[in-house]
Each structure stands twice: as C-alpha cells, then as structure tokens.
A = this chain, B = another copy of it.
Amino acid sequence: MTEKKVSARDCLFKRDEGSFKNSMEIIEQYCREHGLQLTPVRKKVFEFLLDEPRGLGAYKILDLLRLSGFNSQPPAAYRALDFLVENGFAHKVESQNLFVACTKPGSHHSPVFMICKKCDRVSETQSTSLDANISDSLRLSGFEIEHAVIEAEGICSVCAGSGSS
C-alpha cells in the first residue's frame, strides 16, 4: 500500500561505507600492481557503480559524469566501462543493458546475477558450483565454454519476505 519499491536502506544487499572504500582500495591496488591507469573518469565511473545496487545504463553514467564536471560524450562512458569490464572491476548485465560493480574485483570469473523485478536490485553470486555444473553439462555435448552469461530474473528474498502485493 505504501511503497511499491523497497528502499535502499532496507536492503539486504546494502553496502556500507566500509565496503565501498574497500572495493575502491582493492582496484586501486590491483591497478598499481598491474600497471593499469585508474584515471579520473574510470575511477568516477566505478564510484557510480559502487553506489548503485540496481546497476546503471551507459547513458545514465554519462549524465552522472557530466554532473560531476566531466564534459563527456558517449564514447568516454563506454571506454571507461570497457576498461572496468575488461579488467574484472565491473560486469555488464546483458539482459538489461546495464552495468554493475563486481563484488570480486580483479578475479576474472563468469558471474551469476539475480535481478529482482520488484526492487530492481542486481546481486552477484560467486557460484563456483554453478559454473562447474554448467561447464560439465555443456562439456558433455562437446562445447568448450569461454564465457557464460547467467542472469536470473525473479523476486529477491527481501522483496519476497516483505509481504506485499
């Protein structure tokens, strides 16, 4: 009756300041160690992603860059996103054309996403067993997987538990 969407404050997946800082520090260190340039635009885009558990579209990111004083054009946003995705700091959610910060930055893996239709929150699992299952199944058919897109849409535990509708 009151609200359609669960507010960010109530979310199970909420991240506190500590984990924000932690993710940023992790990728800063990773970049130092691997000779990667975490330029201002790239860093800013990663901040945006960390700050938005629902993920962000490329053009929303472009807007945010402009609000932050960057006078950017679309390629700037896509280039920053390419950098973040290539280096395992972010992922693209293919079924939503949306980008999210990686919860395990720097570890190259095939993520599994759960996208809540109610609160729009995107959460990533590190389901190694899941990856293994899929690999095994498909390997039986002789298919060699290089990358897997696994995205589940449905209702997250918070929204399911909040006795609405």
Within 8 A of B (CB), among A108-165: 112, 114, 116-117, 125, 127, 129-130, 133-134, 137-138, 141-157, 160-161
- Give the residue name and chain of the B residue nearest to A135 (CB): B152
Question: Contacts of A156 on B, CB cut-off 8 Å?
Answer: 142-143
**Which of B116, B130, B137 is close to A129, meaning CB atoms less than 8 Å apart?**
B137
A95 at interface (Cβ–Cβ under 8 A)?
A: yes
Tell me the bound Cα distance from A95 to B141 in angstroms: 21
Interface size class of A (residues with CB under 8 A): 20 to 34
Question: So how many copies of this chain end up in the complex?
Answer: 2
CB distance from A45 to the nearest CB of B (A): 22
**Is residue A94 contacting chain B, with contact meaning CB distance below 8 A?**
yes
Instruction: Beyond A129-B137, A142-B156, list 20 extra A-B contacts (CB 8 Å).
Output: A112-B137, A114-B138, A114-B141, A117-B146, A125-B141, A130-B137, A133-B133, A133-B134, A141-B157, A142-B160, A143-B154, A143-B156, A144-B154, A145-B154, A146-B155, A147-B153, A148-B150, A148-B151, A149-B151, A150-B150
Please measure, in the bound complex, the distance between the C-alpha atom of A130 and the C-alpha atom of B135, giving whole angstroms.
Answer: 10
